[in-house]
Structure 1
Amino acid sequence: MTRRLRQLGYEVGGKRIRRLMRKMGVMAIYQKPRTSQPHPAHKVYPYLLRGIAAEKINQVWCADISYIPMRRGFLYLVAIMDWHSRKALSWRLSNTMETDFSVAALENALRLYGKPDIFNTDRGSQFTSLEFTQALKDADIRISMDGRGRWMDNVMTERLWRSLKYECVYLQAFET
């Protein structure tokens, strides 16, 4: 919008355009992916991290899913991270929100780094699925799931997504 208005001869800045668009309620109408929708039939596990500080590696791992915009549509990206080291242990891309790519990332992280004491996720259907939770149970890992409004628990992966998107994805126009 800023570029177009400048082409028309108006002297405007991006901040002003964003502020005015927000004030008018104008927003993009493209489809936005919904990555954290719970499945009504899946079991939701309690939140186990209240009052716990990650003081060592493999104490708490977390996972999150984001989307990568492509020229036509988007891909989904899952990452498994260690809370203490904030290291991305494993990741996978998929063009669908099926559970298999999340399980593959989990199995890869377990194979490469051992197992955590607690694994924390949001309540998205991939993480509440029988396949994902069974993989955690088989490895004897305690399952923790964020409650509503617990955005701070995923702040490490959210920061990873922000860095990845602003430093790479948004600068490129990926075809595939």
Structure 2
Amino acid sequence: MAKRTHVHLPDCWIFDRAVIKWQRKTFVIVGIMDLRSRKLLAWELLRPLKPKPTAAVLEKAHLMYGHPPALVVGIDKVFKSPDVQATCNQAEIQPVDIRHGKVSISIFIRSVWRSLEWEGLSWRELPDEPTFRQVVNDWIVFYNSDRPHQALGYAVPDEEWRTVRYKIDQ
């Protein structure tokens, strides 16, 4: 049996959210990830989760990186809100759901959020919310530009994004 790699995954973006707790406060991180390169294209740390800022994450990714090959959305009701739907309609994006039973392709982006909590937040004493937000931002920049990924053959998402996009666009 041939070894499968990240290039065998569907060419899509994942749009999902996760809860992050910090100092008895609950934040929701909403983000979009390119599945093949594992690059986080856009994200926002929200408190509370609201449709307009969630839609703004999609709009930002679309403006910066173009039209997604496919957009897989999370199952949260915020992704079905009129604001997110209007952004999808305006950008001519048709969200898809490729869940199989209880398993979802969203597991890939959720593992990023778990890594953020473990690597970026769990071992630090953060004195205030601006510092907390800066640590989250710094970790995501590190994740995209410097953190090697075993699934990518120890490449980093930024490099893989350029390589994968170049091959697909030819």
Note closer, same or farther for the CA distance 1:173–1:69 as it changes in structure 2 (3 Å cut): farther
Aligned to 1:159: 111
Scaled by the length of structure 2, the TM-score of the pair is 0.64
Unaligned ranges ≥5, structure 2: 1-7, 130-170
**How many residues get paired?**
121
Asked whether the equivalents of residues 14 and 73 of structure 2 are also in contact (C-alpha less than 8 Å), the reply is: yes
Quick one: distance in 1 between partners of 2:96 and 2:102? 12
Scaled by the length of structure 1, the TM-score of the pair is 0.62
Task: Note if 1:99 corresponds to 2:51.
Answer: yes
Note closer, same or farther for the CA distance 1:116–1:80 as it changes in structure 2 (3 Å cut): same
1:146 Cα deviation after fit: 5.0
Instruction: Give % identity.
Output: 26
Note closer, same or farther for the CA distance 1:129–1:150 as it changes in structure 2 (3 Å cut): same
Q: 2:19 aligns with which of 64, 67, 70?
A: 67
Task: Note if 1:115 corresponds to 2:56.
Answer: no
Aligned to 1:34: none
Amino acid in the other structure paired with 1:107 = E
Unaligned ranges ≥5, structure 1: 1-51
- Secondary structure (helix, strand or coil) at the match of 1:104 reads helix
Asked whether the equivalents of residues 93 and 101 of structure 1 are also in contact (C-alpha less than 8 Å), the reply is: no
Q: Which has the higher helix share?
A: 2
From the CA coordinates, give the structure whose radius of gyration is larger. Answer: 1
Quick one: distance in 1 between partners of 2:102 and 2:34? 18
Note closer, same or farther for the CA distance 1:53–1:68 as it changes in structure 2 (3 Å cut): closer
Quick one: distance in 1 between partners of 2:73 and 2:80? 9
Quick one: distance in 1 between partners of 2:15 and 2:124? 25
Amino acid in the other structure paired with 1:85 = S
Over aligned residues, Cα RMSD in angstroms?
1.9
Query: Which one scores higher on RCO, CA 8 angstroms, separation ≥ 6?
Result: 1
Aligned to 1:124: 76
Quick one: distance in 1 between partners of 2:109 and 2:101? 16
